[in-house]
Amino acid sequence: MRMLLREKNWVDFVAWCKLRRLTPLPAHPWTVAAYARWCEPRHRFPVVVKRINAIARAHILSCETPPDRHPMVTRTLRLIEMRERARPQRSALFASPEAAPGDGNGARFRKKTNADKSKATSKRVRTMRASPRLVSRRPVHP
């Protein structure tokens, strides 16, 4: 049990549970599923699975039923995995599609024309500002 207390994934889960006043051991399957959903935007899918496995390992070592096999937890993990597969993969090296090599047209080195600029401005989505636009007060002359 001493080695278990030093495992970072288990310690993170216990801290997460304490912050929300939930029981980490034995953990309810809903708690584990909620923790997996909380981890989803913060970690990649394999890391989420490792964290859930650490929770199951802690339950096994303390002779409790591991919650990772519960249908709610398995469905949640499957949902997270499907979302990650559907997420478009972006390369950090090529931030924009124009800079990607191998398009054959030399678009990487071509200067932007006025037509390209007008396409870019027409795609802009108008949103409301969080603060009002500052307008200079001009004297009104009759």
Are 45 and 6 in contact, with CB atoms under 8 Å apart? Answer: no
Q: Is 134 helix (H, G, I), strand (E, B) or coil?
A: coil
* Sequential pLDDT tens for the chain (142 residues): 444 556 899 999 999 999 999 999 889 999 999 999 999 888 988 999 999 999 999 999 999 989 989 999 999 999 989 888 887 776 666 555 554 555 555 555 555 666 655 555 555 555 655 666 666 666 666 6
Tell me, yes or no, if the pTM score tops 0.75.
no
Q: Which domains does the chain have, with CATH numbers?
A: 2-86 (1.10.150.130)
